[in-house]
Amino acid sequence: MTEGNVSAYAEFNIFAGRCSCQFVIEANGGIYPCDFYVTDEWHMGNIKDSTFEELESSETAKIFVQSSEYIDPKCKSCKWINLCRGGCRRNREPMINGRPNLNYFCSSYREFFEYAIERLYEIAHLVANLPQDR
């Protein structure tokens, strides 16, 4: 599990390794890339004026995703990098020199994974062996 790529199985962006645009739409039609970033800085446009394809390829979307891709060197040498991938960008603020910081919850994640890894393997094994007709 820690050696493979589990991002395809990541239910939430928190462990995907980078942000993606979730397209939060406010009551006035304003669109933002993520519910943590409903701010003027990350306003992408309005649902009345743009398609999702246009929004996804917009400069704001590209900057938002690219700014989350940096992984702290401490993460790269961590044995849990394939599970955590640095965590959510929101928890890696404030930015330092335009790059995300080490995740605020880093020590908690390390402790949790150390404690739970055998149980996670058991769950993964059970899920992998579920009948396919479900």
What are the tens digits of pLDDT across the range 65-123?
888 888 889 998 999 998 888 888 889 999 888 888 899 999 999 999 999 999 999 99
Report the pLDDT value the prediction gives residue 99, as an integer from 0 to 100.
87
The secondary element (H helix, E strand) that includes residue 9 is none
Identified catalytic residue from 35, 49, 72, 133: 35
Question: Strands of 45-46's sheet, edge to edge?
Answer: 24-25, 30-32, 45-46
Distance in angstroms (rounded) separating the CA atoms of residues 45 and 54? 10
pLDDT confidence bin for 2, thresholds 50/70/90? very low
Q: Residue 11: is its pLDDT beyond 80?
A: no
For residue 35, indicate whether it is catalytic: yes
Report pTM.
Answer: 0.71
Report the pLDDT value the prediction gives residue 15, as an integer from 0 to 100.
65
